[in-house]
Structure 1
Amino acid sequence: SFVAVIGAAGLAVGLALQGSLANFAAGVLILIFKPYRVGDFVEVAGVSGTVTSVLVFTTELNTGDNKRVIIPNGQTMGGTITNYSTNDTRRVDLVMGIGYGDDIDKAKKVLEEVVAADERVLQDPAPTIAVVELAESSVNFVVRPWVSKADYWGVYFGLTEAVKKRFDEEGISIPFPQSDVHMHQIANHD
């Protein structure tokens, strides 16, 4: 009958618009609550990048390798949003491993000197440098200096390189993952 056809068509249109309506509603919420703005560096829907536009149905990001990613706003508001641009400072988290035969106190002193030598590192809050793990192949230090958000990547890469160079100069090893293999000889009983 005609009523059944109209009902089926209405259902089909409703199902087809379901995603669009969810994206529209999420877009309105983004525009009202502003969890991020154009220019912010964010992680949404599993993608990290700089927000280039916030539209009613979609959010556009530019990734670090210069890809443009268009994310439906329903996915954006349906998950976790991490906004790295909201606060003025960020903590750099590095893990540096040394060999079990190396001097822990010497390595910690070198790490403190390398961090202190970088003028971009903030003194308040003070950097944290501590042994964090006795791993399978290394004794791991956590190095956590605070920096202005604009200096984050420069400090991250700069400290990694500076620590490697100083460890080389000081004879402190950075071990590769390794395993001990024990071979047992089985007696031959003839």
Structure 2
Amino acid sequence: MEDINVSELVETYLIPWGTNIIFALLIYFIGKIVVKMLVNVFGKVLGRSKYDDMLIDFLKSIVHAVLMLFVIIAALNELGVNTTSMVAILGAAGLAIGLSLQGSLQNFASGVMLLVFRPFTRGNFIEAGGTAGVVKDITIFNTIMTTGDNKEVIVPNGAIYGGNIINYSAKETRRVDMVVGISYDADLKKAKEVLIEMVNADERILKEPAPTVAVAELADNSVNFVVRPWVKSADYWAVKFDFTEAVKLRFDQENIGIPYPQMDVHLHKVED
């Protein structure tokens, strides 16, 4: 009697379930190998393009997750699990999670757009999301920047992609905009000649486009020149700081007065 029951148990449950489990495991492990091969091929195809490495890794992870989901569903289906209801449950759960994480999804979508269109890359000096700094890394949800005083700032991608992005490193050259004021008593022509001479003497300043030195404004306390030379982007701050210092030293040497804000007070004596 016990032999019959054991035999029926083996034939009814153990063999069918064992067979299903073996096939499910085969589907899973073989599918995992196939998915890995397909993802590698997908990555090599994208690698021949000009897409950012981070975008390629992200797309590979998405493709891998989607394909593995199909493999797992196929394996569970082999075990007799009702995958139709499971897919419906997963869809409802995904919708609920999506509604609760709208801000994160916006950052996620913005991160994808930043990686696809690449308005900036690692190492660029940008101004975006209320912060200016050198881009250290671009992740799916955030962009990490390092400020000039070496502070690390993590900015949500949604704040960056949803606003203006100023990329100071996008072009090879930049124009340095400086204002130099002289007193009304100073020799205007001499001051202009000195400024032009200083611009031409600096080897870091480009000849083309030609620099601009011109009188821009007759202000309250000074006559203001605009000095606008073109330089390589890497030389921008060095030229700006060096030229500003050099102007003060040279104007002192040439006795060209640089005014500062002042107020004349006149006292009138009132006789009783």
Superposition pairs of residues 175-190 of structure 1, within 5 angstroms: 175-188=259-272
User: Which stretch of structure 1 is more off in the superposition, 44-53 or 12-21?
Assistant: 12-21
Superposition pairs of residues 45-60 of structure 1, within 5 angstroms: 45-60=129-144
State whether residues 98 and 105 of structure 2, in contact with CA within 8 Å, keep that contact through their aligned partners in structure 1.
no
CA distance in 1 between partners of 2:255 and 2:208 (Å): 31
> What secondary structure sits across from 2:153 in the alignment?
strand
CA distance in 1 between partners of 2:269 and 2:153 (Å): 59
- CA displacement at 1:181 relative to structure 2: 2.5
> What secondary structure sits across from 1:48 in the alignment?
strand
Whether 2:160 is the aligned partner of 1:82: answer: no
Identify which of structures 1 and 2 has the higher relative contact order when contacts are C-alpha pairs closer than 8 Å and 6+ apart: 1
Residue in structure 1 matched with residue 213 of structure 2 by the alignment? 129
> What secondary structure sits across from 2:193 in the alignment?
helix
What is the TM-score of this pair, normalised by structure 2?
0.63
Q: Which runs of 5+ in 2 are unaligned?
A: 1-93
CA distance in 2 between partners of 1:183 and 1:136 (Å): 22
User: Which stretch of structure 1 is more off in the superposition, 149-158 or 16-25?
Assistant: 16-25
CA distance in 2 between partners of 1:136 and 1:12 (Å): 63
Residue in structure 2 matched with residue 111 of structure 1 by the alignment? 195
- CA displacement at 1:49 relative to structure 2: 0.8
- CA displacement at 1:155 relative to structure 2: 0.7
Residue in structure 2 matching 1:73, options 157, 160, 164 = 157
CA distance in 2 between partners of 1:178 and 1:47 (Å): 36
CA distance in 1 between partners of 2:262 and 2:223 (Å): 13
CA distance in 1 between partners of 2:248 and 2:96 (Å): 61
Superposition pairs of residues 1-190 of structure 1, within 5 angstroms: 16-188=100-272
State whether residues 128 and 165 of structure 2, in contact with CA within 8 Å, keep that contact through their aligned partners in structure 1.
yes
CA distance in 1 between partners of 2:241 and 2:220 (Å): 25
State whether residues 124 and 169 of structure 2, in contact with CA within 8 Å, keep that contact through their aligned partners in structure 1.
yes
- The 1:12–1:98 alpha-carbon spacing in structure 2 relative to 1, beyond 3 Å, is farther
- CA displacement at 1:184 relative to structure 2: 2.9
CA distance in 1 between partners of 2:187 and 2:238 (Å): 28
Q: How big is the alpha-carbon RMSD for the aligned residues of Structure 1 and Structure 2? A: 1.8
- CA displacement at 1:182 relative to structure 2: 3.0
- What code does the residue aligned with 1:86 have? A
- CA displacement at 1:13 relative to structure 2: 6.0
> What secondary structure sits across from 2:205 in the alignment?
coil
CA distance in 1 between partners of 2:207 and 2:189 (Å): 22
Deviations 1:149-172 (A, max 9, x none): 111111111111111110010001
- The 1:111–1:13 alpha-carbon spacing in structure 2 relative to 1, beyond 3 Å, is same
> What secondary structure sits across from 1:180 in the alignment?
coil
Residue in structure 2 matched with residue 7 of structure 1 by the alignment? none
**Which protein is bigger by CA-based radius of gyration?**
2
Q: Percent identity?
A: 60
User: Which stretch of structure 1 is more off in the superposition, 171-180 or 113-122?
Assistant: 171-180
The structure carrying a bigger helix percent of its residues is 2
Q: Which runs of 5+ in 1 are unaligned?
A: 1-9
The structure carrying a bigger strand percent of its residues is 1
